[in-house]
Amino acid sequence: MATITTNDLKNGMSLNLEGSLVQVVDFQHVKPGKGHAFVRTTMRNVRTGSVVDRTFRAGEKVERAIIDKRTMQFLYREGEDYVFMDTSTYDQLTVTPETLGDSTNYLTDTSKPQLLMYGEEVVGVELPAAVELTIAETEPGLQGDRVSGARKPATLETGLVIQVPLFVEPNEKVKVDTRTGEYLSRV
């Protein structure tokens, strides 16, 4: 692994600290009037999601963790788990829903997310900003019910329930923001 000093820290950088994989959320280099300079950091544990504040001496060495991004195609569900195929090597990989988190709400058979890998372990997933999903079930819009900005619940093909405008019908494709889970437009 690559060793860097705390002076080289940047937001979003991944580190291997005492056997746990953390990502730098925020850092601040402090040079007090008396005493030695230090670096105050806020880090998030990638596996558990817990946030930790830690102070390092300036110039202290830390171990950088290399996170590899691999484009994978979602193939199918096997029980509770999700099976992906590496688009370059065609190797298949089984991932638990706990590892994928909320991104399971946006995975369809044709989606190709980027899985974040630390060695052979999947530590996260990056989705595109918006995905196209089909409305599986929603109430029909009534003629004359055209209140500006009115919304109704709709269940998507993945099981996610979102609020859509009244004119959206079942079996229509809609664009959904993967960061907020909100309806963007019809496709």
Structural domains of the chain ordered from first start: 2-64 (2.30.30.30), 68-126 (2.40.50.140), 130-186 (2.40.50.140)
Residue from 90, 81, 86 nearest 114 by CA = 86
Residue 143 is predicted with a pLDDT of 60
Long-range contacts formed by 156-164: CB under 8 A, 24+ apart:
156/105, 157/108, 157/133, 158/104, 158/105, 158/106, 158/107, 158/108, 158/133, 159/105, 160/105, 160/106, 160/133, 164/135, 164/138
Does the pLDDT at position 1 exceed 80?
A: no
Q: Cα 153 vs. chain centroid, distance in angstroms?
A: 24
Q: Measured at the alpha carbon of residue 167, what is the angle toward residues 187 and 179, in degrees to the nearest 5?
A: 50
Torsion sign (Cα): 101, 117, 42, 130: negative
Q: Cα 110 vs. chain centroid, distance in angstroms?
A: 18
- Residue 40: pLDDT band (50, 70, 90) is very high
Residues 146-175 pLDDT 10s = 666 778 889 998 888 998 888 888 898 999
Residue 174 is predicted with a pLDDT of 92
Does the pLDDT at position 145 exceed 70?
A: no
Put residue 12 in one of left, alpha, beta given phi > 0 → left and psi -120 to 50 → alpha: left
Residue 49 is predicted with a pLDDT of 81
Does the pLDDT at position 79 exceed 80?
A: yes
Q: Which residues, at least 6 apart from 47, have a Cβ–Cβ distance to it below 8 Å?
A: 20, 21, 123
Does the pLDDT at position 69 exceed 70?
A: yes
Tell me what the mean pLDDT of segment 98-123 comes to. 86
**Main-chain dihedrals φ then ψ at residue 126, nearest 5 degrees:** -115, 125
Please state, for a pLDDT cut of 90, what percent of the chain lies above it: 14
Does the pLDDT at position 182 exceed 80?
A: yes
Please give the single-letter amino acid code of residue 131.
Answer: V
DSSP-derived secondary structure letter, 129: S
Does the pLDDT at position 142 exceed 70?
A: no
**Contact at 8 Å (CB) between 162 and 154?**
yes
Residue 51 is predicted with a pLDDT of 92
